[in-house]
Amino acid sequence: MPIYEYDCPSCGDFTVLRPMAERDAACACPYCDTPSERVILSAPGLTSMAGSQRRAHETNERSAHAPQNLEEYKANRKHPAGCSCCGPSKPVERTKANPHGLKASPSARPWMISH
């Protein structure tokens, strides 16, 4: 069932979970029982979408109405310039804890197949 928004003349707006068949009927205010008409105050919720798809829709919506210039984009980034998680990664090197460099180079046993 979808969530609809209603506007009470004395208490203000409120939301109610109702069947679609009852969406246009007046709803009693949960605080004062006054019959209230349905209003559309916000955009529909996109909670049933996958997170990546929802973020793509949000990005497209923002860019359609208020595209960012380069300075605004740099100011709104979550990570500082040159962070290791967003930039190119370092090559994996051999260490004492990881002697094979995560199998980036052949091991001391050439007859073994590494995956």
- Residue 96: the pLDDT is 75
Residues contacting residue 65 through CB under 8 Å, at least 6 positions apart: none
How many domains would you assign to the chain?
1
More confident residue, 28 or 41: 28
More confident residue, 103 or 93: 93
The answer as to whether 110 is a domain residue is: no
Q: Which two tokens stand for residue 14?
A: 């409120």
The answer as to whether 23 is a domain residue is: yes
Residues contacting residue 30 through CB under 8 Å, at least 6 positions apart: 14, 16
The answer as to whether 12 is a domain residue is: yes
- Residue 32: the pLDDT is 92
The answer as to whether 47 is a domain residue is: no
Residue-number span of the structural domain to which 10 is assigned = 3-39
The yes-or-no verdict on residue 115 having pLDDT over 60 is no
The answer as to whether 24 is a domain residue is: yes
Mean pLDDT of 38-43: 82
What pTM was computed for the model? 0.39
The answer as to whether 54 is a domain residue is: no
